Amino acid sequence: MSIRERMSGNEATAVAMKQINPDVVAAFPITPSTEVPQYFSTYVADGVVDSEFVAVESEHSALSACVGAQAAGGRAMTATSANGLALMWEILYIAAASRLPIVMACINRALSGPINIHNDHSDSMGARDSGWIQLYSENNQEAYDNMLMAHRIGEHPDVLLPVMVCQDGFITSHAIENIELIEDDKVKAFVGEYKPEMYLLNKDNPIAVGPLDHFTHCFEHKRQQAQGMVNAKKVIMEVAEEFYKISGRKYEFFEEYNADGAEAAIILLNSTAGTAKYVSDKYKAQGKKIAVLKLRVFRPFPADELAEALKKYKAIAIMDKSEGFNAAGGPLFTEVTSAMYAKGVLSPKVINYIYGLGGRDVKTTDIEIVFNKLFEIINTDKVDSVYNYLGVRE
Amino acid sequence: MAYKLKEVAKKPERLTGGHRMCAGCGAPVVVRQTLRALKPEDHAVIGAATGCLEVSTFIYPYTAWRDSFIHNAFENSGATVAGAEAAYKAMKRRGKIKDDTKFIAFGGDGGTYDIGLQSLSGAMERGHDMVYVCYDNGAYMNTGIQRSSATPKYADTTTSPAGRKEHGKQQWRKDLTEIMVNHHIPYVAQTAAIGNMKDLYEKAEKAIYTQGPAFLNVLAPCPRGWQYDTPDLMEINKLAIETCFWPLYEVIDGKYIINYKPKNKLPVEEFLKVQGRFKHLFRPGNEQMIEEIQREVDKRWAELITLAEELN
């Protein structure tokens, strides 16, 4: 029997880490992810886990220590937000290129500047090309579930990539909601033992990690790394299938909600999906059908599957909780539309909204503005503005 | 057992030949002698910061390191090796590893005094059972001889050039060894490869086999940056010590031991004049700069003696 509990997204993340009981957790405090290492250090202090907790002096050292620990042959985890993730930037790329399946909880927060502690996705979106798998979570349950699946995905021999599990700072990290936890022994059996093929602490087969890699080999290594990300797609679905068996909760690359018969869709990440689903239900009751497409897996980007799913809609709003500053649209917008174009999905009309920056509240009335706009586009068959802002004063 | 170079040199090389460090470079001498202090049966995880040592010893698909080796980035050799040590502790506790492994991080002065200082400080403060070895050649040699906080005053580097108005680096060098002493870790030592390299070997042995964090600051001349003939390496090391520019000392649990006090302390000029980076100091009219360096060397030497006397 699963365990019914109530807890915040941060605690749910920490509970997942406790059940995983990794070899090393190295982390540095930063709002709103601070609670994760706080909870974890309590587990260490109480002897509930037998991990090493390394209370480093910066996020740069947090991820550097994770690289050392994972290369040594251990399972390493960390948690961070915003500027902390930015300080890790250099090492994000090294961790991925070294094919080290470190797992990180990224509690999304607006990246400075100006300094702001609230939620948007500018931190993890900035790291989208660093070679990490990125899973996004709508609520505490998904944050917990994604965390339990992360090692299985990253450590798969066809993948060997680090995994970032994202959730919205404060909105889900600090909000206490109901959750269904899986029993410790089931989690242990599901996550399994970490058995790397090669690792620093293997005296019988010493290895060297992190070479100077010239033009003679570097390109091949980058190609192999890219293949790991391609392979991750299959593995993510296999792991989700297995996870379904122990949890009854189904996960895919994205979730399509109220899609039946809908002509319009909104695409988004993390907690705003909850708000959008609520408004979608309300509209449905009024006979107006609108689909909510919540993207769970942003890296690898499920381009083919998305394009296939989107071809049935007449109008699509792609929602970015971060700016790309390219004067043309946010990162999710550019990736979704290029996936559609490459697949020849040209009939839906698409618009982009930048929303919720710096934690600006996203209300049901904001979502209604988007939905109404989509219906207007369908009715008029016209898009007057592609690149838009939602909820900003100007 | 008394130290015998002949015996020690018979130990298997843990940094093999064929790497691409320059002839006359101090760093590989330091590394080889440090690693000789490992017990043959002990496995080591060795880390290195980005720098000459790393890029010359581990060019894919070749490695000169017989032990396990990890390079991560420029500024995080301390944190990286600390992470490996943390994994070792956890894995040993869980019975996944049985043999003893020692942890050694190397970094040049740029990767240690400057960009890696925070990472080093954190690793030492947290008490990881590891040794950090700084091979101090007094500048960013790998990128082409730029000044660091370890560069001696008035040295000519490519970012502190000896020009018409300014005569090389304008600032005194940072005293990293003392900074590490003030971390109150069990073992800190300053050493160099001189004579039969007993001092370096014994300090490396103490550092590796002292429980907890240890730090070695090792002088490692660079023929390109210091501008000397490659066969003069050992002579330059000797002059650094005989002039007290680079005193040999160790601090064990806060107790200072000066390992060598020259009977006839040589003028610092003897150390400076054999190096091209100081040649502008020997032009007529620049004598006061050499005098200034001499006063600083004397002052720091006197301070060290005071520390050794007062704290013992």
Q: Out of A176-180, B1-5, B268-272, which region has the weakest mean confidence (pLDDT)?
A: B1-5
Nearest CA in chain B to A217: B60
Predicted pLDDT of residue B2: 86
CB nearest to A206's CB, from B67, B72, B119? B67
Query: What are the Cα distances from residue B280, in Å, to A345, B163, B273, B295?
Result: 71, 9, 10, 19
DSSP state of B167: B
Mean of per-residue pLDDT scores for chain A: 98
Beta carbons of A52 and B45 less than 8 Å apart: no
φ/ψ of B246, rounded to 5, equals: -130, 85
Note whether B121 contacts A: Cβ–Cβ < 8 A.
yes
Taking one residue from A and the other from B, the number of pairs with CB-CB distance under 8 angstroms is 166
Note whether B63 contacts A: Cβ–Cβ < 8 A.
yes
Identity (one letter) of the amino acid at A85?
A: L
Residues in A closer than 8 angstroms to B76, CB to CB, are 60-61, 64, 91
Q: What integer is the mean pLDDT of A340-365?
A: 98
**B79 is written with which tokens?**
């944190």
| Chain B residues 85-114 within an 8 A CB cutoff of chain A | 85-91, 93-94, 96-97, 99, 101
Query: What are the Cα distances from residue A302, in Å, to A295, A296, A332, B269?
Result: 9, 10, 12, 68
How many Cβ atoms are within 10 Å of A129's Cβ, its own excluded?
A: 12
Nearest CA in chain B to A97: B72
CB nearest to A23's CB, from B59, B76, B90? B90
Q: Above 70 in pLDDT, residue B192?
A: yes
Query: Which position has the token pair 């995880």?
Result: B45
DSSP state of B15: B
Q: How far is B208 from chain A (nearest CA, A)?
A: 17
Q: What is the CATH number of the domain that holds B35?
A: 3.40.50.970
Furthest-apart CA atoms within chain B: distance in Å: 69
Beta carbons of A64 and B63 less than 8 Å apart: no
Predicted pLDDT of residue A2: 87
> Testing the interface with B: which of A17, A23, A188 to mutate, by most B Cβ within 10 A?
A23
Beta carbons of A51 and B118 less than 8 Å apart: no
What is the total residue count of chain B?
A: 312
Half-sphere exposure at residue B44, Cβ-oriented, CA atoms within 13 angstroms: 26
Q: How far is A217 from chain B (nearest CA, A)?
A: 8
Contact A51, A44 (CB under 8 A): yes
> Testing the interface with B: which of A21, A25, A61, A216 to mutate, by most B Cβ within 10 A?
A61
Mean of per-residue pLDDT scores for chain B: 97
What is the Cα–Cα distance from B305 to B312, expressed in whole angstroms? 11
Beta carbons of B125 and A211 less than 8 Å apart: no
Instruction: Specify the higher pLDDT residue, B311 or B142.
Output: B142
Q: What is the pLDDT of residues B262-293, one digit of tens each?
A: 999 999 999 999 999 999 999 999 999 999 99
Beta carbons of B82 and A68 less than 8 Å apart: yes
Instruction: Specify the higher pLDDT residue, B157 or B9.
Output: B157
Report the DSSP beta bridge partners of residue A134: A164, A299
Predicted pLDDT of residue A182: 98
Predicted pLDDT of residue B312: 64
B67 closest CA partner among B37, B112, B27, B23:
B37
CB nearest to B90's CB, from A50, A66, A214? A50
Q: How far is B66 from chain A (nearest CA, A)?
A: 7
Residues in B closer than 8 angstroms to A26, CB to CB, are 83, 86
Nearest CA in chain B to A74: B87
Q: How far is B50 from chain A (nearest CA, A)?
A: 9
Count of structural domains, chain B:
1
Contact A33, A156 (CB under 8 A): no
Beta carbons of B86 and A200 less than 8 Å apart: no
Q: How far is A270 from chain B (nearest CA, A)?
A: 31
Burial A334-372 (b: 16+ CB within 10 A, else e): bbbbebbeebebeebbbbbbbbbbebbebeeebbebbbe
Nearest CA in chain B to A198: B68
Half-sphere exposure at residue B60, Cβ-oriented, CA atoms within 13 angstroms: 16
Residues in A closer than 8 angstroms to B69, CB to CB, are 200, 206-209
Q: Where are the alpha helices (DSSP H) in chain A?
A: 9-20, 35-45, 59-72, 82-87, 89-97, 122-126, 140-154, 184-191, 218-247, 272-285, 303-310, 331-342, 364-380
What is the Cα–Cα distance from A144 to B204, expressed in whole angstroms? 46
Beta carbons of B83 and A64 less than 8 Å apart: yes
Query: What are the Cα distances from residue A120, in Å, to A14, A31, A173, A354?
Result: 21, 13, 13, 10
Q: What integer is the mean pLDDT of A353-361?
A: 98
Q: How far is B128 from chain A (nearest CA, A)?
A: 10
Beta carbons of A73 and B96 less than 8 Å apart: yes
Beta carbons of B65 and A208 less than 8 Å apart: yes
pLDDT bracket for residue A262 (50, 70, 90):
very high
Beta carbons of A91 and B72 less than 8 Å apart: yes
pTM of the model: 0.98
Residues in B closer than 8 angstroms to A94, CB to CB, are 72-73
What is the Cα–Cα distance from B111 to A175, expressed in whole angstroms? 42
Identity (one letter) of the amino acid at A317?
A: A
Q: How far is A207 from chain B (nearest CA, A)?
A: 5
Its ipTM equals: 0.97
Predicted pLDDT of residue A221: 98
Beta carbons of A217 and B82 less than 8 Å apart: no
- What value does the CA radius of gyration of chain B take, rounded to a whole number of Å? 19
Q: Where are the alpha helices (DSSP H) in chain B?
A: 5-8, 27-36, 52-57, 77-93, 109, 117-125, 176-181, 198-209, 223-226, 233-242, 269-272, 287-310
A123 closest CA partner among A32, A57, A40:
A32
Beta carbons of A91 and B76 less than 8 Å apart: yes
Residues in A closer than 8 angstroms to B89, CB to CB, are 52
| Chain B residues 123-162 within an 8 A CB cutoff of chain A | 123, 125-126
Q: What is the pLDDT of residues A370-394, one digit of tens each?
A: 999 999 999 999 999 999 999 999 9
Range of the domain at B77: 5-310
Residues in A closer than 8 angstroms to B43, CB to CB, are 201, 203, 206
The string of DSSP codes covering B249-309 is EEEETTEEEE----SSPPPTHHHHTT-GGGGGGGSTT-HHHHHHHHHHHHHHHHHHHHHHH
pLDDT bracket for residue B310 (50, 70, 90):
confident
Q: Above 80 in pLDDT, residue A243?
A: yes
φ/ψ of A346, rounded to 5, equals: -115, -10
How many Cβ atoms are within 10 Å of A202's Cβ, its own excluded?
A: 18
Percentage with pLDDT > 70 across chain A: 100
What is the Cα–Cα distance from B27 to A261, expressed in whole angstroms? 71
Q: What is the pLDDT of residues A214-234, one digit of tens each?
A: 999 999 999 999 999 999 999
What is the Cα–Cα distance from A375 to A265, expressed in whole angstroms? 10
Contact A173, A123 (CB under 8 A): no
Sheet-wide strand order for B187-192: A208-209, B68-71, B43-48, B101-108, B131-136, B214-219, B187-192, B249-252, B255-258
Predicted pLDDT of residue B1: 64
